[in-house]
Each structure stands twice: as structure tokens, then as C-alpha cells.
Amino acid sequence: DPNILVAGETLIDFLPDRPGSLREVETFTRRPGGAPANVAVGLAALGEVPWFWTRVGGDPFGEDLIETLESHDLPQRLVERDPDAKTTLAFVSHDEEADREFSFYRDRTADTRMEPGTIDDALLERVSWVHLGGVTLASDPSRAATLELAERAGEFGCTVSFDPNARPELWDDREEFEALVGEILPQVDVLKATPEDLAEAGIEGEGTDLARAACDRGPHTTLVTLGGEGALAVGTDESPWNDEASHPGYRVDPVDTTGAGDAFTAGAIAALAGGEGLAEALAFGNAVAATTTTAEGAMTALPDGERVERFRAETPTGE
């Protein structure tokens, strides 16, 4: 039986065929996506197949996503089909500097309709780790479902990890995002975020001070990813990983960084849940993430453990 439960959105990303603003890009390639879906597939690729609770629409996109999840060996028990809703679509563009722009088609879509109380006690008793994301906090009932699952997972003694995935396009204003992240963080044990996510949530600082400032809001452990500069982590006195660590990342020529943060999350969770410390979790997470940036697509590029090992043996780290 899986030891980890991942919950949240599965959606279709429309990725631009060339750089430019969403006002002008004409052709897109569709890819399965959604941060929690990427994390779930990443864990499965690493041999740590999780439960994945998600909800897709009763449309051809939903059928395609279910097939994709099946093809990555994720168990189907918690994959819900919603005949009364559409699947979320996300159009993405980026300029020459890779700064991204999003437009979400997510009005009352299936993933927003994930219901509180879906995950039963028996399942929470059997898993030791629950991973959640910030996108399902953007509207109800998935907001209530996410908050409730975080709280109950804690009561069952699970380690709760959370990625805020700040997407300003999904929120009425920054204050609303900050309030919801502030509400869930006391239930979170392990926070994974970028400095931009944290800034959106009103958490500022540099380096390990930033991670400590995040830990002041509730999590005992915070991992901060820094793009091409790798990642750092802090665990407080309450953390089983009471330590500080950083890793400079691996030197690669990225072709597609979509889902790199999710690949990092999968690697870091697999390492920490497998008994490794912060330093190894960062090195492994960075290696999984860097590997995925060298191929197109968020899910198809996720490596297995052997591939990660080879990559680490042959790739230099950053400065």
C-alpha cells in the first residue's frame, strides 16, 4: 500500500510553441499538468507510488488525464470523474527571459469541486506523509477540502508538506492568497516554496533567513528552491531534520523548466520520507529537477532512481 498521499489538481497545460505574450502566441502544445499531479507522477517514477486524490471533468481532456495517470501507475481509487464539470485548462506563455504569464480556465471546474471528507480515516491511518498545494485553496469547496485534509492528516500523525504555488491570476488579490496560506501553514510540517511564492504570501528575507521566516508561520522545515542556483533548507528545533543545508544545483542547459519545482518536490519528499537528511534531500531534489529541465514536458521527463543516479555521477554542480 502507498505510504504517501498527494492531493490536488490535474489539468491541461497549453505551452507556447514560441516565446511571446499570450496576446500574440498562436500555437500551443497541450501537456498534462497540475503541480500535485506532477509531484504524484514524479514520486511514482522514483518507485514511491503514492495515492493521488484528484478530480477531472467529464470531457475528453479529463479522459486523457485519467489515461495519463494510469500510464504512470498511479492507483485509480481516488481519481474522481465529475460529469457535471469541465477539466481546468491553463494557457502559459513566456518571454525571452522565461518570465511566465498564465491564463486559467478554471471557473467551477472539476478540481475546484474536490469535497471535504472524501479521504477516510482508514487511509490516513495507513499513510505517513500527505502532500498538498496552494491552487486548490483558491476556491471552494476544494479550499475547505484542502484545509480539512491538512488538519486531519496532522491529527493522524502524518507529515504534511505543502507547496503554495503562487498564481496571482487565480486570486482576487494578494491579501486573499496571503490569508489562505497563513491559515494552512500552522498545519504544515514541511513547506516547499520559491522566494516569489513566499513574497506573495508576505514572507520576506534572504537565504536561510527567508526559510526561517517561513518556519515562523508554522512549518518546522522549509525548503526554498532558487531556480538555476539550486535550493536551501532549514529545520527548526521541532524538526526531525534540525539542521541547515544548501545545494548549488546541477549545471544543465534547460530546454523546458515547466514542472521543475514539482520534480524537486517529488525528489525531496522521496528522500525525506525514505529517512535521508536535508542535505541529501536537496541534492536529490535538485538532481531530479535538473534532469526534467533537459527534456520537454513536466510529466514525461520525470526520471527513475537509476537515471537520477547516473545524472548525479556525470553532471557537475553549480558554483
Interface residues with ligand ATP (CB under 6 A)? 194, 196, 225-228, 230-231, 249-250, 252, 254, 257, 260-261, 264, 286, 289-290, 293
User: Closest distance between ligand ATP and the C-beta of residue 41, in Å?
Assistant: 15
- Cβ proximity to ligand ATP: between 3 and 317 the closer is 317
What's the grid cell of residue 95? Answer: 518571454
3-state DSSP assignment of residue 106: coil
Q: Which of 152, 167 has the CB closer to ligand ATP?
A: 167
Whole-number minimum distance, CB 246 to ligand ATP, in Å?
11
CB of 226 to ligand ATP, least distance (A): 6
Cell numbers linked to 31: 501537456
Chain centre to alpha carbon of residue 189: 15
- Is residue 7 within 8 Å of residue 35, measured between CB atoms? no
Distance CA 264, CA 288 (A): 6
Q: How far is the CB of 192 from ligand ATP (least distance, A)?
A: 9
Residue 34 or 249 having the CB closest to ligand ATP:
249
User: 56, 80 in Cβ contact below 8 A?
Assistant: yes
3-state secondary structure of 68: helix
* Cα distance between residue 184 and residue 172, in whole Å: 18
Of 179 and 226, which CB lies nearer to ligand ATP in the complex structure?
226
Strands 100-105 and 89-94 turn out to be antiparallel
Q: Which residue is nearest to ligand ATP (CB)?
A: 261
- Burial of residue 256 (CB within 10 Å: 0-12, 13-18, 19+) is middle
Nearest Cα to Cα of residue 284 among 242, 234, 249: 249
Return the number of the residue (61 or 264) whose C-beta is nearest ligand ATP.
264
Q: For ligand ATP, which is the closer residue by CB, 51 or 250? A: 250
Asked if residues 133 and 8 have their Cβ atoms less than 8 Å apart, the reply is yes
CB of 277 to ligand ATP, least distance (A): 17
Q: How far is the CB of 132 from ligand ATP (least distance, A)?
A: 16
Distance separating the N- and C-terminal Cα atoms of the chain: 41
